Amino acid sequence: GRFEIIHLNRIDSTNTYAYKLAKEGKRDIVVVADEQTSGRGRLNRVWFSDFGGLYFSIVLESDVDKFPVLNFLAPICMVKTLKNYSNKNYGIKWPNDIIVNNKKICGILSEINVEYGFMVLGIGINVNNKIREEIRDIATSLKEVEGKEFDKMEILKTFLEIFESYLNNLSPENILKEYKENSLTLNEYVKIITPNREIFGHVVDITYEGIVLQTDEKLEIVDVGDCIHLRK
């Protein structure tokens, strides 16, 4: 395959480590760890990273134009990957959470460095790890969904194969279309919390510029960077 895999037992965060390697010039590498001691989520949240889960970060050459496309591509590939192992209904909650049975099974944290021209795509999937008590209402694992354990490195391989096949001829239009087909947010009524206010509305479209909401007053577009929380 295209990617060199660096497998670590334990690290603070694969994203932090991959970012450092990227600054040193590395590209097309995947850092995977069995455990993370400071797994990071979006918006400075923590990502519990107990043994049994799959935690990895991909370093890709990217500019500002490619960034949103790769950001939509990752969850599409993850949905496809999970559907390889499970018949349940996996979908994407905007911007890039993977949901099954109304609970989150996978989260994605992407970071870009414009100066150095790379992005780090960090993906965490609850595979065999036990879901901690405090998030049991909102999170699930593949083991919990299917009632059996999975080979997480096998899942990583499947994901990378699918991901690679798209990378070879990146089509922003096609990716957006597939993203929308797998979206659990499109056409729903949602409340979005931003730093300044709450917006309630009907999701009439999703674009690379943001999510398009029809509120009582007008059509509003909310950028990913401005969304702190989205609720149905």
Piece of the chain touching ligand BTN by CB under 6 A; list 34-42, 135-143, 148-156, 177-185? 34-42
Using the minimum distance from each CB to ligand BTN, give the nearer residue, 22 or 108: 108
Q: Which of 27, 31, 35 is nearest to 18 (CA)?
A: 31
User: Is 123 or 131 the residue whose CB approaches ligand BTN more closely?
Assistant: 123
- Residue number with CB closer to ligand BTN (16 or 201): 16
The pairing of strands 4-11 and 29-36 is parallel
89 closest CA partner among 108, 74, 102: 102
Site string for ligand BTN, 116-155 (x = CB under 6 A): ------xxx-------------------------------
What one-character-per-residue DSSP string does 3-56 give? PEEEEEEEES-HHHHHHHHHHTT--SEEEEEEEESS-B-GGG-B----TTSEEE
- Contact call for residues 223 and 230 (beta carbons, < 8 A): no
Nearer to ligand BTN, 45 or 136 (CB): 45
Please list every residue from 54 through 93 that binds ligand BTN, using CB under 6 A.
Answer: 55-57
Q: How far is the CB of 101 from ligand BTN (least distance, A)?
A: 17
State the minimum distance, in angstroms, from the CB of residue 39 to ligand BTN: 4
What is the C-alpha to C-alpha distance for residues 188 and 204, in angstroms, rounded to an integer?
Answer: 8
In angstroms, rounded to a whole number, what is the distance separating the alpha carbons of residues 103 and 147? 16
Residues touching ligand BTN: how many (CB under 6 A)? 20
Residue 109 touching ligand BTN (CB under 6 A): yes
Among 69, 79, 108, 190, binds ligand BTN (CB under 6 A): 108
Residue 15 or 182 having the CB closest to ligand BTN:
15
Contact yes or no for 33/24 (Cβ under 8 A):
no
Question: Tokens at residue 121, please?
Answer: 């795509």
Place of tokens 């049991």: 136
Q: What is the DSSP letter of 226?
A: G
CB of 123 to ligand BTN, least distance (A): 6
User: 3-state DSSP call for residue 162?
Assistant: helix
Q: Is 6 in the site for ligand BTN (CB under 6 A)?
A: no
- By CB under 6 A, residue 52 contacts ligand BTN: no
Taking the least distance from each CB to ligand BTN, the nearer of 56 and 201 is 56
Residues that bind ligand BTN in the complex, under the rule CB under 6 A: 13-15, 36, 39-42, 45, 47, 55-57, 97, 107-109, 122-124
